[in-house]
């Protein structure tokens, strides 16, 4: 079984997120999109983008251009370890943007996620984050960032609060020394659901063949993300 990661189109990443990620929603600001193939079959995408809150970079003494968020790991049924896929993707990201110093990601406890893939990849766990988990609009749950982009604010809408686990990955030695004191013991898996790092059933949500239209776009576009 061969594994390949390469830059992919917005359409391909959107297809993966809408079919194989629990949110079913492509994040706003998903600027870096990396496609994943096994045996030349498209099986998903890893999406990086701007931090969820402008103030987040300041809390680590960084500029907004030095911090990014791992926003989506959207994979169909696959054989490769998810942590390996994440590891390769962040190395590609750093090669593309060598001025980056820190990656942040959040494991959604509401979905039964505890960050197992980040633990396997050596990320630093810094504790629980209690914040916005979504916004209800017209009876449908939406991501807060999507609503802010659409309306400029979430005021007037029902905001859902939730608990997430925060993980950090430093991209240079100085950054690692800075955040190492923030390290806390990894949370443990508390239920039978949630992400798993290595199994044929990993992140399986829908079946089906490779997305023909996104793959056509990938094969015919420049490699610039």
Residues written for the chain:
225
**What is the fold, at CATH topology level, of the domain defined by 3-130+163-220?**
Aminopeptidase (3.40.630)
> b/e per residue, 163-187, with b = 16+ CB within 10 A?
ebbbbbbbbeeebeebbeeeeeebb
SS3 state of residue 40: coil
pLDDT for 157: 55
Reported pTM: 0.76
| The two structure tokens encoding residue 145 | 């960032």
Q: What residues contact residue 42 under an 8 Å CB cut-off, 6+ apart?
A: 12, 16, 35, 36, 210, 211, 214, 215, 218
Domain boundaries of the chain, sorted by first residue: 3-130+163-220
Tens-digit pLDDT string for the chain (225 aa): 899 999 999 999 999 999 999 888 888 777 899 999 999 999 999 999 988 677 889 999 999 999 999 999 999 999 999 999 999 999 999 999 999 999 999 887 766 677 889 999 999 999 987 665 565 666 566 655 565 556 565 555 556 566 789 999 999 999 999 999 999 999 887 644 455 554 444 443 332 333 333 333 333 333 333
Name the one residue in this structure whose structure tokens are 């750093």: 94
């Amino acid at each position: 079984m061969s594994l390949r990661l390469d830059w992919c189109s917005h359409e391909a990443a959107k297809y993966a997120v809408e079919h194989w990620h629990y949110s079913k929603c492509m994040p706003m600001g998903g600027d870096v999109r990396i496609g994943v193939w096994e045996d030349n079959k498209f099986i998903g995408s890893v999406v990086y983008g701007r931090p969820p809150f402008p103030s987040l970079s300041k809390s680590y003494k960084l500029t907004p251009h030095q911090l990014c968020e791992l926003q989506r790991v959207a994979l169909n049924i696959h054989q490769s370890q998810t942590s390996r896929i994440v590891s390769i993707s962040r190395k590609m990201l750093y090669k593309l943007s060598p001025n980056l110093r820190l990656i942040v990601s959040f494991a959604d406890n509401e979905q039964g996620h505890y960050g197992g893939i980040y633990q396997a990849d050596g990320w630093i766990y810094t504790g629980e984050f209690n914040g916005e988990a979504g916004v209800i609009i017209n009876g449908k749950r939406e991501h807060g960032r999507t609503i802010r982009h659409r309306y400029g604010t979430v005021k007037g809408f029902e905001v859902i609060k939730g608990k997430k686990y925060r993980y950090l990955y430093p991209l240079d030695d100085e950054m690692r020394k800075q955040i190492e004191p923030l390290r806390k013991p990894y949370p443990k898996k508390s239920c039978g659901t949630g992400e798993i790092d290595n199994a044929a059933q990993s992140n399986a949500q829908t079946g089906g063949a490779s997305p023909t239209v996104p793959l056509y776009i990938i094969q015919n576009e420049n490699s610039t993300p």
